[in-house]
Structure formats: structure tokens, C-alpha cells
Amino acid sequence: MEYNRNYPVRLEIEQAVELLLQKVRKVSAEPVSLDEADVRILAEDIFAKENIPPFDRSPLDGYAFRAEDVAAADREHPVVLKIIEELPAGTAPSKTVGKGEAVKLSTGAPIPPGANCVEKFENTEFTDKQVKLFAPMKSGTNICRAGEDIQKGDKVMETGTELSAAQIGLLAGLGYTKVRCFARLRAAVISTGSELLPEGSELTPGKIRSTNGHTIRSLSRRWGMETKIYGIVPDDQESIARAVASCAEQADVIITTGGVSVGDYDLAEAALRQLNAELLFWKLGMKPGMAALAAIYQGKLILALSGNPSAALAAFCMVGRPVLNYMAGRREYYLKKCQVHMLRAFPKRSPQRRFLPGKLVLQGGEVWFDFGSRQSNGMLNQWAGCDAVAEIPAGSGPIEKGSLVSAYY
């Protein structure tokens, strides 16, 4: 069906991303316990309420004493110090170290007043009452200072940070039990196509098993989203419209696959028009992934992608991911980009921008890009193990091995 389209047709991926960023909004924030904060996105800046560590402490098992007392110590003339106290980790000192005195310490124990260095057990000889030192020490040796890791008042994390294991540990060390995080972005995936069968079905003539829903669900979950598969919808305008409307009631983003090209059974656009959705663009200047449609319906983003697995994933990664990153609250939401050498030649000409899924490989101190020898819009296996997508510029002829290209990850 021909439409009078009052929205852009065939946008470059950068134009599509910027257009979508103007139309979407970030999800709301909510308090999250540290137990549930793994890979969540912070919705507040975090400031240190105290020092880490909170006191000067020993990084090893040994003895604390005054450096000036062992200034002349050597193997022939060792210095013997009196042990006045023993401090296991978790205990506080009750005595001040004076001239000729030492305190036995466990790893993590506080440095007692008067002491200014620590020597490890294995470099000493000791009894229950005294310790013998065989070398001079500098003041400050083997002491972890209060605030060495983080000082009170420091901004330790920023809004939009995806929480790592170390950062959750830091939050616990700073006394936080909850932090404000952006809610998980909710997505629903609809697979359209009368040729599709559910997983586990016996194949019948003309039918194929549906893969796109599972692939996109798995990938988006790895991006931190809550994603559910709505199911398979036949090539029918009313059915597609009902599925989109149903998903809009519970999802922030609706991703459909199939029905976005120019055939008689490509009905995604008709279904969205039926719903009075705001259509944003149709087609992208990329291969694979050109067939794509974006819209807003009841404030929810709709990404209608190709039914071909590789094309759907290419558009989802190159256009969908930065927009979804922004909606999820990430501070850095654009894809990262680096220069890579092609590990093998690519023999095809590329009249338009082409994107190859593949893997980053480090060889000889340089980053190389490896990819499957077979590339096709309908192939899924080429995305297995993919951690980057390389760009072949429009108008390129065959690319030789070793050529330098851009890769996104």
C-alpha cells in the first residue's frame, strides 16, 4: 500500500538515533537495596559519608613500632622491642607505643597511637614478649592511611553509572543499604509473520520456527532490561494492532519484527496508522537492517524491525541500543567506537554503509576484527559470539585483509 508519508524516509543511523532521542524519555527512579542493585543504573550522585578506610590500618600481619627505634638495626646489631599489646582485626588499641615498644597486629587492625611503621612477621624473630628487628624502616611503611581509598565528601559515583561489583562493595563500605536507581526498562517483543512457528514445533511445508523474539529478548536482558515475548502474530493488520496496543499497557518499549518492507503482507505500518501512532521514520541507510520503522504510541517507543534475523539485530544494535541506553538512564548511552584492522578480506562491494557482526581480537598489540566468512540478512549464526560491529563505508569496493575500519561496541 502506498502512503503519503510526512515523516523521513531512509535516515542515516546517526540521524535516526538523534530523532528518537528527542522523542523518548527516561524511566522513573526507585529505591533499590544493595542485594538487588547488580548492573542497575544509578539515579543519584553518591558522596562519601566517611573515609575508606575509616582509620590508619595495617595491610599485613606484623608489628607496629616507631621507625626511629630501628634506625641503626642490621643483622649483626638487631633491635629488640617489647611487645605491649596484641591487636587482632576488629579491636581498638588501648595503649600508646613508646620508645622501645611494639604492638603485634593482624591484617586490618588499626595502627596504635605512637607507632609510625609496620614490619611483617616473616622479617622478624619474636616471642610472646619481644620482637627482634634486623633492618631500619621508614616512617609510614606498611600503613594504609585513613581515606586512602575514598575521602569523606568525595563524589564516588555519578548518576547514570551502571553499578559494578566493586561499586556495590564501595556502597556497602560507605554504609549505604539502598540507593536510588532507574527502574528497569520494560520491553515487549512481537514476532509477526504467518510463516512462523513456536519453538519446539514440528516443521511443516512453508513454515519456519521463530527466532527473533528469543534473540532480542536475550540481548535486551543482557542490556539490563526486563523483556517479555508477547508471541507470534500472523500477517494481519488487526492482529498486529491488537498486539501493539496490548503491549503498550505494560511495556516502555515495543519491538516488533517482520512486516516493515514493501510487500502486500508487510502490514506493520498499516497497523500503527490504525492505532494513530506517531510515525517517526521508515528505512535506514544501512545493510543489513534497512527495513525498519519507528513510532510513538501512547508515549511508548515502537521499533519495528525486519523479520530477517541479521537485519533485525543490526538495526536493533546500531539504532536501538543507544536510544534504549538513554531511556534506561545510562550516562554514556552512545555506542563506543574504535579503529580495527580487518583480520580477513571482505570480497563484496558496498554501495551503501554495511555493518558486519564479529569479534575483537588482540594481535601484536593491535586490535583486529574477525567475522564470519558468510554474511546474509537471514543468517543468525554470524552473530554468535559477536562483541562488535564493523562498518564498511558506503561506496567501498572489496576490503583487503589488514585494512583499517571503524568498529562499534
From-to residues of CATH 2.170.190.11 in the chain = 62-133
35: pLDDT strictly greater than 70: yes
Q: Where are the alpha helices (DSSP H) in 94-211?
A: 165-173
358: pLDDT strictly greater than 90: yes
Query: For the chain, percent helix, then strand, then coil, each to nearest 5?
Result: 20, 35, 45
What pLDDT shows up at residue 380? 87
Look up the CATH architecture of domain 337-408. Beta Barrel (2.40)
Helix (H) or strand (E) holding 81: strand 79-87
CA gap 302, 244 in Å, rounded = 9
What pLDDT shows up at residue 264? 87
From-to residues of CATH 2.40.340.10 in the chain = 337-408
DSSP state letter for 57: B
From-to residues of CATH 3.90.105.10 in the chain = 31-52+148-182
Residues facing residue 397 across a β-bridge: none
pTM value > 0.75: yes
In the numeric block, the cell 523483556 is attached to 227
Closest to 267 (Cα-Cα) out of 238, 288, 300 = 238
Closest to 101 (Cα-Cα) out of 60, 76, 133 = 133
Closest to 62 (Cα-Cα) out of 2, 5, 143 = 143
From-to residues of CATH 3.40.980.10 in the chain = 9-27+184-327
Class for domain 31-52+148-182, per CATH?
A: alpha beta
pLDDT band at 382 (very low <50, low <70, confident <90, very high): confident
8 Å CB contact between 325 and 53: no
Q: What is the pLDDT of residues 394-403, one digit of tens each?
A: 999 999 999 9
pLDDT band at 79 (very low <50, low <70, confident <90, very high): very high
Task: Give the SS3 label for residue 165.
Answer: helix
CA gap 80, 295 in Å, rounded = 80
C-alpha cell read off for 264: 502486500
Residues 6+ apart with CB under 8 A from 36: none
Helix (H) or strand (E) holding 119: strand 117-120
8 Å CB contact between 160 and 329: yes
Judging by DSSP bridges, how do beta strands 388-392 and 354-363 pair with one another? antiparallel
DSSP class per residue in 283-331: EESSBS---EEEEEETTEEEEEE-SSHHHHHHHIIIIIHHHHHHHTT-S
CATH topology of domain 62-133: Molybdopterin biosynthesis moeA protein; domain 3 (2.170.190)
Mean pLDDT value across residues 141-169: 96
Q: What is the pLDDT of residues 249-304, one digit of tens each?
A: 999 999 999 999 988 889 999 999 999 999 999 999 999 999 999 999 999 999 99
Residue-wise burial string across 331-350, b where 16 or more C-beta atoms lie within 10 A, e elsewhere = eebebeeeebbbbbebeeeb
Cα separation values, 380 from 28, 32, 116, 214, 313, Å: 34, 36, 63, 12, 9
Based on the number of CB atoms within 10 Å of its own CB, is 360 exposed (0-12), middle (13-18) or buried (19 or more)? middle
Per the CATH hierarchy, to which homologous superfamily does domain 9-27+184-327 belong?
Answer: MoaB/Mog-like domain (3.40.980.10)
C-alpha cell read off for 43: 539515579
Closest to 282 (Cα-Cα) out of 301, 305, 253 = 305
8 Å CB contact between 243 and 233: yes
pLDDT band at 4 (very low <50, low <70, confident <90, very high): confident
Residue 5 Cα to chain centre, angstroms? 37
CA gap 62, 126 in Å, rounded = 10
